Homo-oligomer: A and B are copies of this chain.
Amino acid sequence: MENMRLESYDEVAEILRECDNVTILTHKSPDGDCIGAGMGLCLYLRSLGKHANVVNSDGFPDRYDFLIGDYQPEEFEEKFVISVDISDTTLLGDELESYSGKIDLCIDHHGSNRFFAKKSYVDAGASAACLIIFELLEHMGADITLPIATNLYTGLATDTGCFKFQNTTPAAHRAAARMMEMGVDFEHINRKMFDIKSRSRVLCEQKLISDMRFFEDGQIGFMVVTNQVVSDYQIDRSELDAFAQIPLTIEGVRFGYTLKQQEDKPNLFKVSLRTTDADAAAICGEFGGGGHLRASGCTIEGKAREVIAKILEVTRKYL
């Protein structure tokens, strides 16, 4: 049977009303959007008296503790599997790899979604997976509690760079207004997610920016996060995701690359690309990666200078 694409919240709502004993999958290297969407959905299903858990290959980083709250996994016989904010089963990570092919419902906002689930609701125009879940719950007339709204606001804010990035929509702003009216402590969340940094993190960023390499009159910028730097400045690896935004903040940069050396494989770099106007998904696609139009990623083997050379060759076609 071919995998089905769902077109309306009604169809998704019907499935959510009928399912029980649900495992919710989030993507490896979890971020605010997948954790917020997973936890928000889980709390909602539990509020209906259903059993539900949220799982992740890498565990949830400490900085999201305020979203996890007093959540504890439940024991039950799994009958239904939902993935949130996952565009491809390769993003499940090692621990959850075995779920590949067994996902009943996928809820996602990536245009690059591969429709791997039995049923998929994908809205590439949605700013965040959390926005889809929020609108869906409203559509279902759900009682959206403060913990649910807090989770969903956090994902919406983090995926839009606090309503700054190109993927921000009027619907995102309007949802944020309604979430605020539910009592979400947006100031605390945004300070925690965007502003507050340890002194060592600030100094680490300083070092990385000082060492950045620029090409093509400064239009292409590379920041290389080596394991050495991470260890020298005692940076928690979960903080590294935020570094991807840095190269594009330097005046003149149109292609901002962050190369993150993998902890266990020093000859492998996780590459993040942020662009001002070029198609980031297309560029990363040339290396087998993907993502959004202005924010994408891929993985490339080699020493840092070799990876940079490979990327430069491709990027110059997009100048």
Contacts and interface: CB of A to CB of B under 8 A. Distances in A.
Interface of A: 162-166, 168-171, 173-174, 176-178, 180-181, 186-187, 190-191, 194-199, 202-203, 205-206, 209-210, 245, 248-251, 276
Top 6 A-B pairs, shortest CB-CB distance:
A206-B206, A170-B177, A173-B177, A164-B190, A173-B173, A166-B187
Contact of A250 (B170, B174, B197): B197
Complex copy number for this chain: 2
A203 B206 contact: yes
A178 B250 CA distance: 30
A184 to B, nearest CB: 11
Contacts of A248: 191, 195
Given A197-B251, A249-B195, A250-B196, A176 B163 contact: yes
Nearest to A163: B163
Given A164-B195, A202-B206, A203-B206, 20 more contacts: A162-B164, A163-B163, A163-B186, A164-B190, A164-B191, A165-B187, A168-B180, A169-B180, A170-B176, A170-B177, A171-B177, A173-B176, A177-B177, A195-B245, A196-B249, A196-B250, A202-B209, A205-B206, A206-B206, A206-B209
Nearest to A294: B187
A203 B165 CA distance: 24
Nearest to A253: B196
Contacts of A165: 187
B180 A177 contact: no
Contacts of A191: 164, 248, 276
Contacts of A168: 180, 186-187
Nearest to A170: B177
Q: Which of A162, A173, A191, A209 has the most chain B CB atoms closer than 10 A to its own CB?
A: A173
A275 B302 CA distance: 46
A209 B200 CA distance: 11
Given A176-B173, A276-B191, A251 B163 contact: no
